[in-house]
Amino acid sequence: MNTRAQPVAVYRRIGARWLGGGGSVLALAVLLGPYIALGVAVASGHYGEGHGVRQAFPYSGRQLLLLAYSLLFSGAVAGGALLLGVGCALKLRSMPRLGSIFLAALPVLIAVPVYLHGLAWTACLASVAGGLPLRGWWGSGWVEVMALLPLATGIALVGLRAVDREQVEAASLHQSDFRVFRRIELPLVMPMLLAGFGLLFLISLLDYNIPSLFGVNVYAMEIFTGYSLDGNPTAAVVTALPLIVAAAAVMMLGLARARLAASTPLFRRASVYRRECWPVWLRIAQWIALALLLAQAVVPSAGMLVMTGAARAWAQAMMSARIEIGTTAAVAGMVLLLGLPLALLAAGPLSRADGAGKVWWALLCLPFAMPAPLTGIGAIHLSAFGSRLPFDTGPFLPVLVNLARFVPVAAFACYAWQRRVDPGLLEAARLYQRTPLRGLLDVRLPLYLPGLLLAGVLLLTLTAGELGATLLVAQPGAPTLMIRLYNLLHYGASRDVAALCLTLMAGAGIAGALALWGIKARPRFGGMANEG
């Protein structure tokens, strides 16, 4: 044994550990920086001494009742979307090619802002013979369930695909498919579904646009009524606190369960699915769910195509929004470039089973639960610290707020993929790598690539659709596409709005297609079996 090489390897390992730890701390600083800066600004009296707290606390009976209704509503929306999503996923699983196409098209389906789904469904149902009015809780619930259905289906499909088919096939020799699904598959996929429920619940809980469109009051709106009056975020934070706690708790419970989710390593994954024999009612339910998913794919996109009209109108709208498209592309590109390494670093400690791992989960859940405008305000305060720098920190802010908001999503996507990688390969790389860097570049990154590509598509799509925080930090003279889109919406230029939405969808489609190509092409340089 080489006696000199051993200490060097130890030092390298310690160095790599420190590097990894330092990187994770850096990721955390980026994620939580805006909120820490906001806390410092509030504590230092930027918004007056304690006025906001007195204004918002204690919570009134009306507010608590509104919170209870909002929690119930979001629970029902998330549950409904997930139930339909499972139905769609079961159907799509029996059609693997269609399932893969759906997963590739998922970014396109989630690229359209939820608010526009609401407008599209309202217009669609109003134009049906006799007119079906969408109003109140039911209208709001319908639009939210439909808008979340593609995401719910994606989560359920990924969860079902991760279940070890060998266990299912073995059980199905003795029991009916439905019983096997209920007794074996569902418990295995349940942690993933709970994590999905948490995510959908949170999206619904923090959204006030759709309820507002249908004249429904939700707690998320409560945060902004006081805020819009005096611009004091202290009261907004205090008002938002129950919502943040509820959302973070659901996210924690849901995502923590995801650690227990079935995750068949790729080398054991079956590539051929046997067509299950379901009871009639379940077959009908699956077809209904799939029809609704198709309707959700068709209504907004067809509505927008009809509204846009000729390709010339689309070109004109694109031309007039070229600055906004350029800005959005630049911001999203930077978020992608900086966000992926940060996501990879943030994903590392998620696999730790000790107390530090749990704290890490909680810290990553926090940005999820924060109302978007507070992220923007926090970023402004953070930039005030950099006002003495010789360069303008302003252009960094749209990138920073999107990193803070969406790197946790990317980190969870990376983590989910990392769990599926054959640990034997990683162990072999660790033993035989010349340096940790070479091990990372030659083995780990190619293995993690599909997860990174998925995280990248998520970062691009979510950044392109962000408004609440970006509006507060957008560079003068460089608005983003969403700012223009909502501005045009207020003006009533529905044709331009539709054209820009199609542009967003096209962008998301290209990102999804490139990611798919990247995954398919990976064996050429990764030297691995193609697991599709």
Partner 1 sequence: MHLPAFLIFALLGCGLLVAGCRKSASREVVVYTSVDQVYAEPILRSFEQESGIRTRAVYDVEATKTTGLATRLVAEKKAPRADVFWNNEFANTLLLRRQGMLAPYRSPAAEDLPGQYRDAGNYWAGMGGRARVLLVNTEKLKPADYPASMNDLLSTKWPGASVGMANPLFGTTATHAAALYATMGREKARNFFSKVKARGVRTVDGNSVVRDQVASGQLAWGVTDTDDALGAVERGAPVAIVVPDQQLAGAFVIPGTVAMIAGAPHPREAKELVDYLLAKETEDELIAAGGCQFSLRGKAAPPQWLKKPLKPLTVELTDVQEQMPRAMEELREIFSR
The least distance separating partner 1 from the CB of residue 311, rounded to whole angstroms, comes to 23
Considering only residues 314 to 343 of the shown chain, the ones binding partner 1 according to CB under 8 A are 330, 333-334, 337
Helix axes 280-308, 494-521, angle to 10 degrees: 120
The least distance separating partner 1 from the CB of residue 208, rounded to whole angstroms, comes to 7
The least distance separating partner 1 from the CB of residue 366, rounded to whole angstroms, comes to 20
DSSP assignment of 346-388: HHGGGG--SHHHHHHHHHHHHHHHS-HHHHHHHHHHHHHHTTT
Q: Binder to partner 1 among 360, 396, 406, 448 (CB under 8 A)?
A: 396
Give dist(CA 121, CA 139) in Å, integer.
9
The least distance separating partner 1 from the CB of residue 132, rounded to whole angstroms, comes to 11
The least distance separating partner 1 from the CB of residue 363, rounded to whole angstroms, comes to 24
DSSP 8-state symbol, 232:
-
Q: Binder to partner 1 among 273, 282, 393, 506 (CB under 8 A)?
A: 393
Closest to partner 1 by CB, 150 vs 371, is 371
Closest to partner 1 by CB, 120 vs 188, is 120
Q: How many helical (H) and strand (E) elements, i.e. helices and strands, does the chain have?
A: 25, 0
Q: Does 528 bind partner 1 (CB under 8 A)?
A: no
- Give 91's strand partners: none
DSSP 8-state symbol, 244:
H
Closest to partner 1 by CB, 281 vs 391, is 391
Q: How many CB atoms lie within 10 A of CB 2?
A: 7
Contact predicate 196/254, CB 8 Å: yes
Q: Does 391 bind partner 1 (CB under 8 A)?
A: yes
Q: Does 373 bind partner 1 (CB under 8 A)?
A: yes
Closest to partner 1 by CB, 113 vs 154, is 113
Q: Does 230 bind partner 1 (CB under 8 A)?
A: yes
Q: Binder to partner 1 among 50, 133, 187, 532 (CB under 8 A)?
A: 133
Closest to partner 1 by CB, 367 vs 376, is 376
Q: Does 479 bind partner 1 (CB under 8 A)?
A: yes
State the binding string over 82-121 for partner 1 (x if CB under 8 A, else -): ---------------------------------x------
Considering only residues 206 to 225 of the shown chain, the ones binding partner 1 according to CB under 8 A are 208-209, 212-213, 215, 217, 221-222, 224-225
- Kindly state the tokens that stand for 243: 């919502």
Closest to partner 1 by CB, 133 vs 187, is 133
Who contacts 317 (Cβ-Cβ below 8 Å, separation ≥6)? Answer: 308, 495, 496, 499, 500, 503
State the binding string over 400-439 for partner 1 (x if CB under 8 A, else -): ----------------------------------------
Which residue from 31, 27, 19 is spatially nearest to 402, judged by alpha carbons? 31
Contact predicate 410/345, CB 8 Å: no
Give dist(CA 173, CA 245) in Å, integer.
46
State the binding string over 240-279 for partner 1 (x if CB under 8 A, else -): ----------------------------------------
Q: Does 476 bind partner 1 (CB under 8 A)?
A: yes
- Kindly state the tokens that stand for 223: 């945060």
Considering only residues 28 to 87 of the shown chain, the ones binding partner 1 according to CB under 8 A are 41, 46-47, 62, 65-66
Q: Binder to partner 1 among 121, 181, 201, 227 (CB under 8 A)?
A: 227
The least distance separating partner 1 from the CB of residue 365, rounded to whole angstroms, comes to 23
The least distance separating partner 1 from the CB of residue 244, rounded to whole angstroms, comes to 17
Who contacts 71 (Cβ-Cβ below 8 Å, separation ≥6)? Answer: 205, 246
How distant, in Å, are the alpha carbons of 37, 120, 265 from that of 124? 45, 6, 44
Total residues in contact with partner 1, by rule CB under 8 A: 74
The least distance separating partner 1 from the CB of residue 491, rounded to whole angstroms, comes to 5
Closest to partner 1 by CB, 405 vs 419, is 405
The least distance separating partner 1 from the CB of residue 481, rounded to whole angstroms, comes to 12
Torsion of CA 356, 357, 359, 363, to 10 degrees: 130
Is 467 in a helix, a strand, or coil?
A: coil
Only one of the segments 163-171, 187-195, 253-261, 390-398 lies at the binding site for partner 1 (rule: CB under 8 A); that segment is 390-398
Q: Binder to partner 1 among 392, 428, 510, 523 (CB under 8 A)?
A: 392
- Give 478's strand partners: 475
Q: Binder to partner 1 among 246, 471, 499, 515 (CB under 8 A)?
A: 471
Considering only residues 486 to 505 of the shown chain, the ones binding partner 1 according to CB under 8 A are 486-493
How distant, in Å, are the alpha carbons of 33, 208, 226 from that of 240? 19, 13, 11
DSSP 8-state symbol, 444:
I
- Kindly state the tokens that stand for 19: 């590097």
Considering only residues 448 to 467 of the shown chain, the ones binding partner 1 according to CB under 8 A are 467
Helix axes 5-43, 355-369, angle to 10 degrees: 40
Q: Does 377 bind partner 1 (CB under 8 A)?
A: yes
Closest to partner 1 by CB, 294 vs 445, is 445
Please give the distance of CA 300 from its chain centroid, rounded to a whole number. 20
Give dist(CA 206, CA 341) in Å, integer.
28
Give dist(CA 223, CA 504) in Å, integer.
29
- Kindly state the tokens that stand for 226: 């006081």
Backbone angles phi, psi at 501, to 5 degrees: -65, -40
